[in-house]
Structure 1
Amino acid sequence: MKHNSKKNSNSRVSDTELNSVDAEESQNNFFERLPLEVTLHIFSWLDVQSLCRASMTCRSWNFNIRLSDSLWKPHCWALRAVCKREIDDDLKSGYSWRDTLLRNYQKSKVKLEWLSGRYSNICSPINLPEKIMYPMDAETWGEILEAELKRCKNHKATIALRI
Structure 2
Amino acid sequence: MQYVSKWNPNTRHFSEGSSTLILVKEHFGRNFAESLPMEMSLKIFSKLDIKSLCSAAITCKLWNCIIENSDYLWRTHCLTVRGVCQREVDGDRGSGLSWKVTLVRNYRKGSVKREWLRGRFSNIRCVEDLPDQSMCVLDAESWGEILEAELER
Tell me the TM-score normalised to structure 2 length: 0.78
Instruction: Note the C-alpha offset of 1:25.
Output: 6.4
Among candidates 105, 108, 132, match of residue 106 of structure 1: 108
Q: Which sits farther off after the overlay, 74-83 or 133-142?
A: 133-142
CA distance 1:107–1:24, change in 2 (3 Å): farther
Q: Is 1:116 paired with 2:118?
A: yes
Tell me, what secondary structure is at the counterpart of 1:101? helix
Instruction: Note the C-alpha offset of 1:28.
Output: 2.4
User: Superposed, which structure 2 residues align to 1:1-163 within 5 Å?
Assistant: 16=10, 23=25, 26-151=28-153
Partners of 1:131 and 1:37 in 2: CA distance: 37
Instruction: Note the C-alpha offset of 1:26.
Output: 4.1
Q: Could you say which structure has the higher helix fraction?
A: 1
CA distance 1:89–1:24, change in 2 (3 Å): same
1:20-79 Cα shifts (integer Å, max 9, x gaps): 9x8476422432121101100111111111111111110111011011011111111111
Q: Could you say which structure has the higher strand fraction?
A: 2
Matching residue's letter, 2:70:
S
Q: Is contact 2:50–2:77 with CA below 8 Å preserved after alignment?
A: yes
Aligned Cα RMSD in Å? 2.2
Tell me, what secondary structure is at the counterpart of 1:28? coil
Instruction: Note the C-alpha offset of 1:132.
Output: 3.3
User: Can you give the 5+ residue segments of structure 2 that lack an aligned partner in the other structure?
Assistant: 1-7, 14-23
Tell me, what secondary structure is at the counterpart of 2:133? helix
Tell me the TM-score normalised to structure 1 length: 0.74
Q: Which sits farther off after the overlay, 57-66 or 78-87?
A: 78-87
1:104-150 Cα shifts (integer Å, max 9, x gaps): 11111111110111111211112111333222222221221122223
Q: Is contact 2:33–2:62 with CA below 8 Å preserved after alignment?
A: no
